[in-house]
C-alpha cells in the first residue's frame, strides 16, 4: 500500500513540476509566436496566396489549442481542476481540444496538397491552388471535424481523477482508431506523399527551364525554402504526435482490464499528460520553425517591425508639431486679450 502511494505521489509531483516549469514557457512563446504568424500571413504579399490562407488558419487554430489546452491546466495549479469537478467542463474542453488538434493537422495537410497542385503541370490540379478553394476547404474541414468529434460530448466521464472515456470500451476503441487514422496516419501520409510529389514536379520543371535556358535562380531558391518548411513540419508533426498515438493504444488496452487499481489509473493519467504535453510543441514551435526555414517569412516579419517603428516615428513629430502650433495660438490669444 505504501509503495502504491509512493508511485502515485511521485507521478503527481513530476506532473506538477512539469506544469509549473514548462507550461508558462509553452503558452508565452506559443501565444506570441501564433500572433506573429497571424500578422505575417495577413501581410499584403502573402494573404492572397492560397497556401498562406491555410497557414493563417492553422496559426489561429494553434492559438486556440494553447488557450483551451494549457489555460485550464495552469488554472488548476492553485484552484480545483475544473476537468475533475465539472462533467460539463470535462466534456466541453475535451471536445474543443480534439477539434483544435484535428484542424491544425488537416490545415497543414491541405497546405501540402495546395502546393502540390501549384507545382503540377496539370491545369485542373493548379486550379485547386486558389484562395477561393482554400476558404471553402477550411470551412468544410472545420464542419467535418466538429461533427466527427461529438462522441467526446457523449462518452467522456470523470473517474478517479481521470477525465476521459473510462467506462465504454467500444467508444474508447472507436476514439483510438479514428484519432490514430484520422489524426495520425492519414495527415502524415498526405504530407509525406505531397512533399515527394512536389519535389518531383519541381525537379521536372527545373529541367525544362534549364533546357530552354530559362533558369530562374530566385524561383529555385523559393522552391528550396518551400521544401525546407514542408520537411521540417512533417518531421515535427511525426515526432510530437507519436506519444499521443502510443497513449491511445495504452488507454484502449487499459480499459479492457476490469477493476483497475488506483495506481494503474494514476499511471494512465500521467501517460496521457505526457502525450498532451508533447502535442503542444507543434503549435508552440510553428513560428520559430517558419522563421528558421523561410527567408520570405523572415523578410515579411522584418518589414512588419520596420513599419511599426516607422509609424511611431511619424506619430511623434506630428504630435510635437501640433502641440507647438497650439502653444503659439494660445500665446497669441493671451496677448490679444
What is the pLDDT at residue 223?
Answer: 54
Q: Model confidence at 208, in pLDDT bands (50, 70, 90)?
A: low
C-beta separation of 195 from 231 below 8 A: yes
pLDDT at 256 over 80: no
Q: How many CB atoms lie within 10 A of CB 127?
A: 11
Strands 163-164 and 157-158: antiparallel
Q: State the cell numbers at 193.
A: 506523399
CA–CA separation, 62 and 247 (whole Å):
21
pLDDT for 20-72, tens place per residue? Answer: 888 899 899 999 999 999 998 888 877 778 888 998 999 999 999 999 988 88
Q: State the cell numbers at 27.
A: 503558452
Q: How many CB atoms lie within 10 A of CB 184?
A: 19
In a domain, 49, yes or no: yes
C-beta separation of 61 from 146 below 8 A: no
Give the mean pLDDT of the chain: 80
- Which range is least confidently modeled, 91-95, 202-206, 264-268? 202-206
In a domain, 326, yes or no: no
**22-26, Cβ contacts within 8 angstroms, sequence gap of 24 or more:** 22/277, 23/70, 23/73, 23/74, 24/74, 26/66, 26/70, 26/280, 26/281, 26/284
Return all residues near 75 (Cβ < 8 A) that are at least 6 apart.
82
Q: Model confidence at 331, in pLDDT bands (50, 70, 90)?
A: very low
Q: What is the CA radius of gyration of the chain?
A: 26
In a domain, 99, yes or no: yes
Q: Apex CA 216: angle with CA 210 and CA 220, to 5°?
A: 95
CA–CA separation, 37 and 63 (whole Å):
10
**Owner of C-alpha cell 487499459:** 254
Number of domains in the chain: 1
Q: State the cell numbers at 268.
A: 494512465
C-beta separation of 199 from 74 below 8 A: no
What is the pLDDT at residue 336?
Answer: 39
For the domain that residue 144 is a member of, what is the CATH number? Answer: 1.20.1070.10
Give percent of the chain with pLDDT exceeding 70. Answer: 81
Instruction: Work out the widest C-alpha separation in the chain, in whole angstroms.
Output: 96
In a domain, 313, yes or no: no
Q: Apex CA 185: angle with CA 184 and CA 186, to 5°?
A: 100
In a domain, 299, yes or no: no
Residue 284: domain span: 2-293
pLDDT at 328 over 50: no
CA–CA separation, 124 and 6 (whole Å):
63
Q: Which of 315, 165, 326 is nearest to 248 (CA)?
A: 165
What are the helix (H) ranges across the chain?
2-41, 50-75, 82-85, 87-119, 123-126, 131-148, 151-155, 169-180, 186-211, 217-254, 262-279, 281-293, 295-336
Q: Apex CA 133: angle with CA 129 and CA 137, to 5°?
A: 115
In a domain, 135, yes or no: yes
C-beta separation of 83 from 163 below 8 A: yes
Q: Model confidence at 218, in pLDDT bands (50, 70, 90)?
A: low
pLDDT at 76 over 90: no
> What pTM was estimated for this model as a whole?
0.80
pLDDT for 107-129, tens place per residue? Answer: 989 988 988 888 888 888 888 88
pLDDT for 162-202, tens place per residue? Answer: 788 877 778 878 888 888 888 888 998 998 898 888 888 87
In a domain, 75, yes or no: yes
In a domain, 322, yes or no: no
**164 bridge partner residues:** 157
Query: What DSSP state is assigned to residue 166?
Result: -
Amino acid at each position: 500500500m505504501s509503495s502504491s502511494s509512493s508511485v502515485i505521489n511521485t507521478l503527481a509531483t513530476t506532473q506538477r513540476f512539469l506544469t509549473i516549469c514548462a507550461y508558462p514557457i509553452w503558452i508565452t512563446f506559443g501565444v506570441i509566436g501564433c500572433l506573429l504568424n497571424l500578422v505575417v500571413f495577413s501581410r499584403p504579399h502573402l494573404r492572397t496566396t492560397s497556401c498562406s490562407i491555410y497557414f493563417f488558419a492553422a496559426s489561429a487554430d494553434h492559438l486556440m489549442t494553447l488557450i483551451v489546452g494549457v489555460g485550464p491546466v495552469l488554472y488548476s495549479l492553485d484552484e480545483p481542476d475544473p476537468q475533475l469537478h465539472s462533467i460539463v467542463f470535462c466534456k466541453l474542453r475535451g471536445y474543443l481540444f480534439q477539434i483544435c488538434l484535428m484542424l491544425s493537422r488537416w490545415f497543414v495537410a491541405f497546405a501540402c496538397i495546395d502546393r502540390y497542385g501549384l507545382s503540377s503541370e496539370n491545369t485542373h490540379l493548379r486550379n485547386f491552388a486558389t484562395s477561393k478553394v482554400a476558404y471553402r476547404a477550411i470551412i468544410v474541414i472545420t464542419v467535418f471535424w466538429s461533427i466527427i468529434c461529438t462522441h467526446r460530448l457523449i462518452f467522456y466521464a470523470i473517474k478517479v481523477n481521470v477525465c476521459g472515456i473510462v467506462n465504454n470500451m467500444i467508444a474508447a476503441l472507436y476514439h483510438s482508431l479514428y484519432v490514430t487514422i484520422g489524426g495520425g496516419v492519414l495527415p502524415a501520409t498526405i504530407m509525406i506523399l505531397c512533399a515527394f510529389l512536389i519535389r518531383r514536379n519541381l525537379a521536372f520543371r527545373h529541367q525544362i527551364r534549364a533546357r530552354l535556358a530559362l533558369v530562374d535562380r530566385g524561383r529555385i531558391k523559393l522552391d528550396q525554402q518551400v521544401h525546407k518548411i514542408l520537411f521540417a513540419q512533417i518531421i515535427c508533426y511525426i515526432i510530437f504526435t507519436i506519444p499521443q498515438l502510443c497513449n491511445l493504444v495504452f488507454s484502449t488496452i487499459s480499459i479492457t482490464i476490469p477493476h483497475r487499481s488506483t495506481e494503474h489509473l494514476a499511471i494512465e493519467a500521467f501517460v496521457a499528460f505526457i502525450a498532451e504535453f508533447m502535442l503542444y510543441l507543434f503549435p508552440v514551435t510553428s513560428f520559430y520553425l517558419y522563421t528558421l526555414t523561410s527567408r520570405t517569412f523572415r523578410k515579411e516579419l522584418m518589414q512588419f517591425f520596420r513599419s511599426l517603428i516607422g509609424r511611431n516615428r511619424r506619430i511623434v513629430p506630428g504630435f510635437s508639431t501640433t502641440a507647438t502650433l497650439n502653444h503659439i495660438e494660445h500665446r497669441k490669444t493671451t496677448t490679444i486679450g
